[in-house]
Structure 1
Amino acid sequence: MSGLSDLGRFSEPAVLILVSLADGPKHGYAMQDDIAGLTGERPGPGTLYGAIRRLEERGYIEALATQDRRKPYQLTDSGRAALTLELERMRAVANTGLRRLAVA
């Protein structure tokens, strides 16, 4: 598995989308609301749907049947594994940074 970091500048929106979907399927607008609640910033539609497309192409998320003109997405097993690896990597970086700040 190549992981999310190879998405370059698109990796942050991808991580946020996967985190949003980790507790169940959501459509784009619901993901925007959830991400805004997590970060204080609402991703624009271009950023959101571009990242959704890339995640879907990699098999990390999949579209479900349209409901009331909205297309929900859900995390795949591959997406769950990629998110777990990325969050563990981020935790290691954060822990190291916090330790270094404590001794500085």
Structure 2
Amino acid sequence: MARNRSLDMGELTDTLYYILLSLVAPRHGYLIMKNIETITDGEFEIGPASLYSSIQKLESAGLIERVDIDDQKRKTYQATDKGIQLLKMDVQRRRVMVRHAEEILKLEGYY
């Protein structure tokens, strides 16, 4: 599936997944990048260009919104209810994918 079509299909790429997960609480760009590094123990990083193009996609899809915070210098975003619902559905979809992989690996003797 093309990356730009994943949102149309109701699925999140890994990048969109981690950004949306980070925006369960309000954060600006730098804090989003740092949060993703923290929650993945540095195994997943997003650069500024990818971050801001992804933020634009998420905002256009109504999954995140800009919120007013005291710091007017930085744009702060937070997941919308629609974004939280999609995130929860994507978590469930990923659980099913992992279960399928575990079943096959176990069946083939790799587990």
Could you state the TM-score of these two structures normalised by the residue count of structure 1? 0.84
Cα RMSD between the aligned structures? 2.3
Listed as ranges, the gaps of 5+ residues in structure 1 are none
Number of aligned residue pairs: 101
Residue by residue, what CA displacement relative to the aligned partner does 1:9-53 show, whole Å, maximum 9, x if unpaired?
Answer: x7221111111112x111110110111123323211110000000
Equivalent residue, structure 1, for 2:91: 87
Contact 1:4 1:15 in 2 (8 A): no
Gap change, CA 1:35 and 1:5, over 3 Å in 2: farther
Q: Please list every run of 5 or more consecutive structure 2 residues that lacks an aligned counterpart in the other structure.
A: none
- Structure possessing the higher radius of gyration over alpha carbons: 2
Percent of residue pairs bearing the same amino acid type: 32
Residues 1:78 and 1:20: Cα distance change in structure 2 (over 3 Å):
same
Query: Which of 73, 88, 91 does residue 69 from structure 1 map onto?
Result: 73
Aligned to 2:29: 28
Deviation, structure 1 residue 99: 1.7
**TM-score scaled to structure 2, two decimals?**
0.79
